[in-house]
Amino acid sequence: MSNDDQVAYWNGPVGDKWAKYQDRIDATLAPLGHAVIAFAKPQPGESVLDIGCGTGALSELMEAAVGEDGMVTGLDISDPMLQTARQRVPDARFILADATDYGFGPVYDLVTSRLGVMFFDAPATAFANLRRALKPDGRLAFICWRGPKENDWVSLPYAAAKPHIPPQPTFDPTGPGQFSLADPDHIRGMLEQAGFKDIRIEKFDGMMVLGKDLDEAVNYCTRLVGPTARAMKDLDVGAREAVTNAVRETLAPLATADGVKAGIACWLVSAKP
Ligand SMILES: C[S@@+](CC[C@H](N)C(=O)[O-])C[C@H]1O[C@@H](n2cnc3c(N)ncnc32)[C@H](O)[C@@H]1O
């Protein structure tokens, strides 16, 4: 997908869905936001830029960390998601713009993101632009997904769905999309090309609560987020039902008293301008 395609995608039904189900999606993605905070260590008084901020979950955490003397700016291409973010974090500033070519000045201590930097069609050019947003002593710190096979929350439902869905587009490991930063060598080379130094890439492994019960978890994987949900939109009623049943059967053993939990595998990445 080109950047223009991404603008259409995140301003269409997908952006509306993220805005409508913000509470549900954020409950599931919460561990990733907390991981970024622990990794990026935002300080009181700092100026923070949240790239691909979406509905503002990380912006909200950053806002609490930088306090009244600090400032958080969220930037995103999705109008419906930003509308939710503005209501949710009234003290932050939100900009509707494309991170790849927005005219940043070097005013931020921290450029950060929770899953918002994997969708650029020319990542090195885009990250070079983000580098221009940093003060000389600032830092980049973000979280992104490792590969789908390492992420049980993706691979388990998708394997269950696969017999019931038509062949999907071939997965391009470096093309724009959810898993474009899965390869750490690609991240390092791309950030070096963008002019970053002191690049650090750490694993973050954990568990994600897909839903408080099986119904919610199946709904998350087949209707809300991820490759199975994306494949579902083209199916007829019978195939949708078959996928839903297969995913339910696969997720059932993951149910605990605290919800249906699946493994997640991410990279935490930091660099200096
Ligand atoms: C997976 S969502 C993550 C949203 C949010 N960070 C969160 O964790 O809830 C990816 C976000 O990146 C945004 N995005 C994609 N391409 C972008 C670009 N070129 N510039 C700014 N935002 C972009 C999308 O609109 C979307 O909000």
* Domains of the chain, residue spans: 3-272
What pLDDT shows up at residue 128? 98
**Among 9-23, 141-155, 172-186, whose mean pLDDT is lowest?**
172-186
What pLDDT shows up at residue 174? 75
Cα angle, residue 65 at apex, residues 64 and 69 outer, rounded to 5°: 85
The runs of H, that is alpha helices, within 22-114 are 22-40, 57-66, 79-88
How far apart CA 99 and CA 122 sit, in angstroms, is 11
pLDDT in tens, 73-120: 999 999 999 999 999 999 999 999 999 999 999 999 999 999 999 999
What pLDDT shows up at residue 225? 86
pTM: 0.95
Q: Which of 49, 96, 119 to mutate to test the pocket of ligand 1 (most atoms within 8 A of CB)?
A: 119
Neighbours of 87 (CB within 10 A): 11
Residues with CB under 6 A from ligand 1: 3, 6, 10, 29, 52-55, 57-58, 75-78, 81, 98-100, 114-116, 119-120
How far apart CA 94 and CA 178 sit, in angstroms, is 23
Class of domain 3-272: alpha beta
- Ligand 1 atom nearest to 29, measured from its CA: 8
The closest residue, in CA terms, to atom 27 on ligand 1 is 54
What pLDDT shows up at residue 2? 77
**Residue 166 reports pLDDT greater than 80:** yes
